[in-house]
């Protein structure tokens, strides 16, 4: 029984990681690693509470999920919470229907026999399937690689950066695409225009600079507005978050 408890905790840990990864793919949400780890570790507590009180476990997972996403993003915490819970319970329910060796009891996926260990190996496959689907959709509708080498010019300065295509970034200002830069490479004096913005993961005010972008190896240049966003460390290894309307 104790062995099943520890194994159930491990399975719920993997299920939580997979669900957060799926949420991040959909929303391009840069989740804070430290906060995410703390939240995921709480799933071990949910398993323990399930053995003590099923209702208490269910209430805990709902409360901590809402609190976690509220802490990350107050405006979209409810939507992000629903997406996360959809994957968490959806994957858990699917696995529980495959065999009676694993059951979903309110807030946790509980292992009832050793046969469930083999089924639990399917959990990471859901994350890989989401990643593959995301790649296929992006390549189908954009016909671009996710990452491109970009020349960005603001004022008299031109730098070479890695840009990441974001199908969800359709933000425009004065009918011009807006891109996001996460490094302090240009003088603050260049960022003069203030814009109210709202995306699926954030909202607020930002200062914009006029700029030109071009793909490495191509002569065509495109006029853009550049917004600085230092709160995100990187865009999947890139310094620029590009716009769906570019190129």
- Predicted structure pTM score: 0.55
Provide the CATH topology of domain 147-241.
Cathepsin D, subunit A; domain 1 (2.40.70)
Reported as a single tens digit per residue, the pLDDT across 27-65 is 654 555 666 777 777 766 666 676 666 677 777 778 888
Which is it for the CA torsion 60, 61, 65, 68, positive or negative? positive
The pLDDT, as a whole number, for residue 143 is 44
Helices (H), the chain: 2-27, 33-52, 54-72, 77-98, 116-120, 123-142
CA distance 226 to 181: 7
* DSSP assignments along 65-78, one per residue: HHHHHHHH-STTHH
User: What's phi and psi for 46, nearest 5 deg?
Assistant: -60, -40
Q: Which residue has the higher pLDDT, 61 or 18?
A: 18
Q: Is the pLDDT of residue 82 over 70?
A: yes
Reported as a single tens digit per residue, the pLDDT across 111-165 is 787 777 788 888 888 888 888 887 776 666 554 557 889 999 999 999 999 998 8
The pLDDT, as a whole number, for residue 128 is 87
| Average per-residue pLDDT for the chain | 79
pLDDT band for 226, please (50, 70, 90 cuts).
very high
Residue 105 near residue 33 (C-beta atoms within 8 A): no
The pLDDT, as a whole number, for residue 222 is 94
Q: Is the pLDDT of residue 231 over 70?
A: no
Query: E strands along 96-220, which residues?
Result: 102-105, 108-111, 147-154, 157-164, 172-173, 176-181, 193-198, 203-215
The pLDDT, as a whole number, for residue 145 is 57
Farthest-apart Cα atoms in the chain, separation: 69
């Amino acid at each position: 029984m104790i062995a099943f408890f520890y194994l159930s905790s491990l399975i719920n840990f993997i299920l939580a990681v997979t669900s957060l990864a799926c949420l991040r793919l959909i929303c391009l949400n840069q989740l804070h690693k430290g906060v995410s780890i703390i939240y995921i570790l709480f799933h071990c507590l949910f398993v323990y509470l399930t053995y003590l009180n099923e209702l208490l476990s269910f209430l805990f997972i709902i409360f901590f999920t809402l609190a976690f996403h509220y802490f990350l993003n107050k405006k979209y915490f409810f939507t992000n919470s629903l997406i996360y819970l959809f994957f968490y319970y959806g994957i858990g329910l699917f696995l529980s229907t495959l065999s009676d060796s694993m059951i979903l009891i309110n807030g946790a996926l509980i292992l009832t026999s050793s046969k469930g260990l083999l089924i639990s190996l399917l959990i990471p496959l859901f994350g890989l399937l989401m990643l593959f689907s995301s790649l296929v959709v992006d390549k189908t509708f954009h016909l671009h690689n996710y990452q491109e080498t970009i020349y960005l010019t603001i004022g008299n300065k031109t730098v070479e950066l890695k840009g990441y295509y974001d199908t969800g970034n359709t933000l425009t200002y004065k009918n011009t695409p807006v891109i996001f830069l996460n490094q302090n490479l240009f003088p603050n004096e260049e960022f003069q225009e203030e814009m109210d913005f709202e995306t699926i993961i954030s909202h607020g005010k930002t200062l914009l600079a006029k700029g030109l972008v071009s793909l490495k190896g191509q002569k065509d240049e495109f006029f853009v507005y550049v917004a600085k966003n230092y709160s995100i460390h990187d865009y999947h290894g890139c310094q620029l978050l590009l716009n769906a309307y570019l190129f």
